[in-house]
Amino acid sequence: MLSACGFQLRGAGTSHLSSAQISLSISDKLESNFELRNFHKELKRSLKQSGAELIIGAQPNSTQLNIVSLNFHSQGVSRDATGRANEYEVILRLEYQINEVNTQEREVKANILSLESTANYYQDYRNPAAGQVQKNETQQLLISQIIQSLIHQLEFQLKN
């Protein structure tokens, strides 16, 4: 019914990488980051679910995906009457490089690209002890949701 009127969902479809061979490399610094350590695992799982074949090293007609950095930042964006931040913004910025390997096994270098995703949440200060636990749990939940969003955007870039 919606397609009859020309309506299209943006970014809501699934990305299929059924014939793609992808060599994935991630910086060691990223692997040691406590807050973002699941990114590599989630990215590999998602690429496999999309039908991509993960390979080791460069092979003819394959794609090399190099994750350069994944930076986490949280900042207060509004304050209450006492001056405490009561609304926070969580920002994840992903820098990556996609290199195509042609049939002669030569890499075609690409520029470093970036994706950024943000989310906001509200902090309640009526119970300070519970508030800190809530803040940490909320941040971790938002980080996992933002990581999924970044992975989806990255798959879209690989597909095109």
Residue 1 pLDDT: 47
**Tens-of-pLDDT digits for all 160 residues of the chain?**
445 555 555 554 555 677 788 888 887 766 666 656 678 888 989 998 888 888 887 777 788 888 888 888 888 888 877 777 778 888 889 998 888 877 665 656 677 889 898 888 877 666 666 666 777 788 888 888 888 888 888 888 887 7
CB atoms within 10 A of CB 24: 17
Q: Which of 140, 71, 57 is nearest to 105 (CA)?
A: 57
Residue 108 pLDDT: 65
Q: Is the pTM of this model over 0.75?
A: no
The dotted CATH code for 14-159 is 3.30.160.150
Extended beta strands in 7-160, E state: 21-26, 53-55, 62-79, 85-101, 107-108, 113-122
